[in-house]
């Protein structure tokens, strides 16, 4: 199970840490304490991220500030795979990104809801990779 600190959750959702804390206080997302830090479960965070894409508050996108070659850190919200191909959906700040890749690649990357990943966008291709994990 992947847990995210409040600051990491805020970065992945493209909101402030104060917003994440307000959502926790309001019961919009559940948080626990691990090693003295408030953390959010990755699967719960992915579910919230998926709902945010459809909400009116996501209309504040920064579409004009993104170039065609951006690498966007985000959270995987859904993976649909068969024996050959996988469809990986992510939320990167205010953006929903979908990538089609081989099922083998998705499995090797360990892509599943709640996992942090990077979407590299160039033209019509989206490349998804896992970031190097920081030691806490």
Closest CA to 11 of 72, 78, 79: 72
Whose structure tokens read 């994440």?
20
Q: In the chain, what are the domain boundaries?
A: 3-57, 63-129
CATH code for 63-129? 2.40.50.100
In this structure, the number of other CB atoms found within 10 A of the CB of residue 21 comes to: 15
- Domain 3-57 fold is Multidrug-efflux Transporter Regulator; Chain: A; Domain 2 (1.10.1660)
Residues 19 and 55 sit within 8 Å (Cβ to Cβ): no
pLDDT in tens, 108-133: 999 999 999 989 877 667 778 888 77
Question: What's the pLDDT at 57?
Answer: 41
Question: What's the pLDDT at 126?
Answer: 74
pLDDT in tens, 5-37: 999 999 988 888 999 999 999 999 999 998 899
pLDDT in tens, 71-111: 788 999 999 999 999 999 999 988 899 999 999 999 999 99
Residues 88 and 102 sit within 8 Å (Cβ to Cβ): no
Whether the model clears a pTM of 0.85, i.e. scores above it, the answer is no
């Amino acid at each position: 199970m992947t847990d995210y600190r409040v600051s990491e959750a805020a970065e992945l959702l493209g909101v402030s840490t104060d917003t994440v804390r307000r959502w926790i206080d309001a019961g919009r997302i559940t948080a626990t304490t691990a090693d003295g830090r408030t953390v959010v479960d990755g699967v719960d965070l992915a579910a919230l991220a998926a709902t945010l894409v459809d909400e009116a508050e996501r209309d504040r996108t920064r579409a004009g500030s993104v170039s065609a070659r951006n690498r966007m850190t985000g959270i995987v919200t859904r993976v649909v795979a068969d024996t050959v191909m996988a469809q990986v959906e992510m939320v990167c700040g205010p953006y929903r990104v979908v990538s089609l890749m081989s099922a083998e690649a998705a499995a090797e990357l360990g892509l599943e809801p709640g996992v942090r990943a990077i979407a590299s966008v160039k033209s019509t291709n989206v490349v998804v990779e896992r970031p190097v994990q920081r030691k806490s």
